[in-house]
Structure 1
Amino acid sequence: MALAHYGILDTPREPQFDRIVRLAAHLLRTPVATINFVDQARQWSKASVGLNGRTADRQDSFCAWTILNDQPTVIENAPADPRFSRNPMVTGDPHIHMYAGAPLIMPSGQRIGTLCVTDHQPHPLSPSDLQALQDLAALVVTELELRSYQQRLSLSLAAQREHSSELQRSLEQAQALTGIHQLFDLDLDPRDALLAVTGLLGGALDADQAGFSVTQGDSVTVDLSPVRAATAIDTTGETAQLITALGLHGARSPLYIDDLPALARARGVPASDHIAQIAVIPAGHDPHGASHLLVTRRKDHPVAHWRPSDRNLLEATGRAAQQMLDHQQARGTQA
């Protein structure tokens, strides 16, 4: 959420950030300098010198280590470091030997990324080099703050209201996620926990229906309930049948559909057009089967698609459900 505050991910290159990486490469005499941001799953580069790719998996990211501390992280010999010796960025391009990164620390204290430099050969750094790296990292944060401020100034009154609504929604979803984690921490039967969680989840997403599916061998159970006030047409039973007919309960990764009737027509499955959107999120696998979270919205819903904030909440809930199952299995094994 702190990173989302700046709206910086997946944006085009901007001159002020390009200037900083050029200056970092020049001052520290390295072939590579990069401004990276680290989110839940990846490292994304806003600006770089000497590097072509813009994205790397978080598990392969040097910068994911750097954001764990306020001070710079220096790896003098990556091939000899057991944490990184098999890293694809060490064994392959850009063949990192030396890495130095300074965290990008928001005024509120969150570490959201790094300004880092690398070299493919030994490259000792002096204390003054590291101080320069920290100073430039602070300049990146200043540019982020200025960019954010300028964006806010450019908003019209209507856009400001929308922005306020988005922040409020983010707060409500963060509160819902806190409640979801608390429910999963209770010693509940997995089915009871999922039932309680889907109620919170559906409300936070302003959904029309929410529930889950459980697949055990060839058996599929779909438990779906209305979330919003009752409407003239109750489509929960129809939606449950459609989920099964389309095989959506077998999704191996998060699935977001904004036009469910079109998908049904493409696959030759009869369906009304009452439900437009559906999200199917893996919520746990164990030796006995798999569970998925299910959330739907009707065709007349004021939100016409699954927003990034919706997806973040859904996927965080799915991960929390998997952790709950893992903990229960571990307790069962120990018992």
Structure 2
Amino acid sequence: MDKGNPTAGFILLGLFDHTRAHLFLFVLVLTVAFNSVVGNALLLLLIHQDHRLHTPMYFLLSQLSLMDMMLVSTIVPQMAAGYLTGKNSISAAGCGFQIFFLTLGGGECFLLAAMSYDRYVAICHPLRYPVLMSWQLCLRLTLGSWLLGAADGAMQAAATMSFQFCSRHEIDHFFCEAPVLLRMACGNTSAFEFVMYICCVLMLLISFSLILVSYGLILTAVLRMRSTEARKKTFATCCSHLTVVGLFYGAAAFSYMRPASARSANHDKVVSAFCSIVTPMLNPLIYSLRNSEVKGSLRKCLARCSALRSKDTLVGLDLAGATKEKGIQ
């Protein structure tokens, strides 16, 4: 089989065809992606502007929003440009960058583990929270999540792009993903696929085990509470994070733990679209709809914007009135 030049680039076959039904789905995906970016950007803005949200919990949440924005921004512009212009080519460097930034999002699993530890300390050791969850530790956990994701992304991107690919450089996907590219490689990739699989499983299992331990201790503490109101408040505090954890690990398990016989290119595209576009939109909605502090901050921001708009309107009316009086005189 002929081998192609890895620097020649690839052709992304895309997610949609040029039919009316697929055009509707394309607009729907763009709407979801836009809402995802706006929602996460708004959450970042609220956390940055409101001093009441300057706590480790909300700082970790802001990093989650940043990862989600990066994930959507890496995929959707390339996909939209290819669909609208018909130019579905992507350079080898661009493909490598996509693999890196997409895999960098794997640090989200460690970020979710750090958030579960934060909830454990806040509920089980509230008086010692400033010590057990200090800003120094919070920054270390955040930096560790980014670095582990970046290390995994760099390893996968460099190793994947080092293989020789067959002359037909067509990727049956709407973005570059390491497992899809490895199926196009002409050489033996079994050793790297095994290492990549072990790394993904370890990242997911270690972080998920930490989350299970944290919430196991939280559940034990909740069962010891005598007040029904305190139990409800505690469950409400953890519900948003547990929903996000369920979405992330449920999608990851469905994506990586399906048998090879149950896989198909179309199914992989749908799962990837849900993980990389839909889930980032749901995260800010889940935290904002079930969090009274975030909702209060949003109302405060909207009231401030409304007051500024009213002030600008009054200033404009005053200027118009003054101009009119000057003209009469």
For the criterion TM > 0.5, the same-fold answer is: no
* TM-score range relative to shorter protein: under 0.3
After TM superposition, the score normalised by the length of structure 1 is: 0.24
The structure in which a higher percent of residues are strand is: 1
Q: Bigger relative contact order, structure 1 or 2, given CA contacts below 8 A and separation 6+?
A: 2
